[in-house]
Amino acid sequence: MNRKAQIWVETVVYTLIGLSIIGIVLGIVKPAIDERRDSISIKQSIDLLNYIDKQIDAVKYAGAGTSIPVDIKIGRGKLYIDAERDVLSIVIDESKSEYSEPGAVINIGGNIKAITVKKGSSKYTVNLSIDYHSRANITYRGKDILQTFQFAPTAYNFYLKNNGFTGDYQNIDFY
């Protein structure tokens, strides 16, 4: 009887040791995995903004009346179409990846600017934006409004339309 009890005690002890080791490894590895995941999300957001920028340039140089479809898949964060200020931006809150030095505005190849803001001890807000103020007049469904889009399991389907010149700049409408 003592022998059977000893086997069960050893089994429980070994199981607890194994679970403790797994917990310690996860405690060490999970933050690194989360940081890497957020870093990949930021890279995908940069690629998305570059894609949108290229599509805007394509419709802009194709001439007035041109309309092209654009599928936008937001993986993380929020996409802002700020037609009032002619700015497109993606803001990723609660990121564990410090993309750049907090508070410093950096240019990321092309037209994208990034700023990282420190939130708490290990969280950051990363703002990626393209300013069209001196290149085009951006509108959303013909209006100068701020429109926000969040993560969705499917892509948002837009059309970009070149409405010709509005003042000194060509009007590019998201609809």
For the sheet containing 78-82, what is the strand order? Answer: 105-108, 112-119, 123-131, 87-95, 78-82, 146-150
**Total-model pTM:** 0.86
Q: Which of 168, 164, 167 is nearest to 66 (CA)?
A: 164
The helix/strand/coil state of 139 is strand
For each of the chain's 175 residues, which pLDDT tens digit applies?
678 888 999 999 999 999 999 999 999 999 999 999 999 999 999 999 999 999 999 999 999 999 999 999 998 999 999 999 999 999 999 999 999 999 999 999 789 999 999 998 889 999 999 999 999 999 999 999 999 999 999 999 999 999 999 889 999 999 9
Residue with tokens 């092309």: 110
Contact 88, 137 (CB under 8 A): no
d(CA 135, CA 144): 16
